[in-house]
Amino acid sequence: MSSGEAATFEDLTKDWNRGIMLNSYENTVPQGDFLQFSTTPQRAGNDPPGVSNPSDTETEISTMREKFLTSVTKLVESKSYNSKVFSKEKYFQTIKEVKEAKEKGKKSSRDYRRAAKYDVISVAGTEKLIEAAHRERDRIRYYVHKEELFDILHDTHLNIGHGGRTRMLKELQGKYGNVTKEVIVLYLTLCKQCHQKNPVPKRGLAPKPMPCKDNDSRCQVEILDMQSNADGEFKFILYYQDHVTKFIILRPLKAKQAHEVVSVLLDIFTILGPPSVLESDSGIEFTNQVVNELNEVWPDLKIVLGKSHPGQGQGFLERASRDVKTMLSAWMQSNHSRHWTEGLRFMQVVRNQAFDGSLQQSPYEAMFGCKAKFGLYSSHLPRETVAVLHTEEELEIAEEQLESSLWVRQEERAEVGADRSDMDEDVDPTPLEASEPSTSQAASGLFSW
């Protein structure tokens, strides 16, 4: 594993620096020791230390929402902030004004600017303000009001494993036109898990880059020790990473035995394809046993053991163990669960969809050639519409309504463009008309049209 690769994965778990707020919310997952279940005997119905119960979580979220709304309101009212954030009243007023501007026979310059910036679509009886398409019908970006912001930010933050500012912005900017860095930072300052203050473990020496041979076909396999925090009969985690794409797979293990590891690896190889070289910091003797058994069980397969790198110790294993445990700890607290085995698959998704600077894409995109999607919440449909869908028939109706609404708006836009051209031709260029108030004046310094 290269030094750039190790540093990038460390970015997911680097410590927070509250003194430089904007820079501290890049690509982070909160630092924190894994829940030490062994320090307190577990009894049926008792949560382990650090795992909040549902009622406490609901209270905490409610408090976060109130504080966030207060902070956003202050931000919007700040004269130095040219806000894209709408109040609920302003949001629906803008929808009304955009519709009126499109319906007017004779339009003012302000009407044309409104029509050029916004569109209004109706899906399942709900009107939504969207960014004007300008012929890009495949892209829909919604505008939301400040009362909607918290739930959007909170859901996204949890879905990407307490990802930081940059990761959240990448997730949201494709679907929303007014979710800004500023409001993301306001939300992140309220997340307690993202402010756990624990020392950052010292980094081990990063392995040297490996030469590209045989299409660089190699994988890293590590066995993470979870015996002190066993989840029932599961006491270990198999950590698999493809060298080229950095795509990972996490699986629970009952024991650190070659035959069990081989069984899991065969499942992986028969889906993703086998590598040529298998590397590991989990012990030469054990790794050699795994490689030999793989070749024995699958005669047509030939994998060789990766060469060791003297002086580099178990750097990859230590980093992988720390990072996975930290991510699992955050997941368990968010989901008030005692079972880390249930969180493994979700942490795998979070890690694989995170943007990687050295790849300039996510590991998922590098592996499969497309972005990861999460059902209908990755679609162009509004979130509230998706939330009430239950059948394919309902989905088809919603999609038809969205398509129809987009066609109508595109035709209206073409008409507005033609009207604007006619108006420009009729304008006498000699007399100068009084200019319309600037953006800041027209919108009282809060909204730009």
Residue 220, CB half-sphere, CA atoms under 13 Å: how many?
A: 24
Does 412 have pLDDT greater than 80? no
Range with the lowest mean pLDDT among 182-191, 290-299, 305-314, 399-408?
Answer: 305-314
**Which architecture, in CATH terms, is 214-378?**
2-Layer Sandwich (3.30)
Does the global pTM surpass 0.75? Answer: no
The predicted pLDDT at position 444 comes to 35
Does 215 have pLDDT greater than 80? no
Range with the lowest mean pLDDT among 240-244, 280-284, 316-320?
Answer: 316-320
Averaged pLDDT for residues 400-425: 61
Averaged pLDDT for residues 125-138: 75
Does 48 have pLDDT greater than 50? no
Q: Where are the domains of the chain?
A: 214-378
Q: Are strands 218-225 and 236-242 parallel, antiparallel or unpaired?
A: antiparallel
Report residue 299 as tokens. 């005669």
Instruction: Name the more confident of 440 and 258.
Output: 258
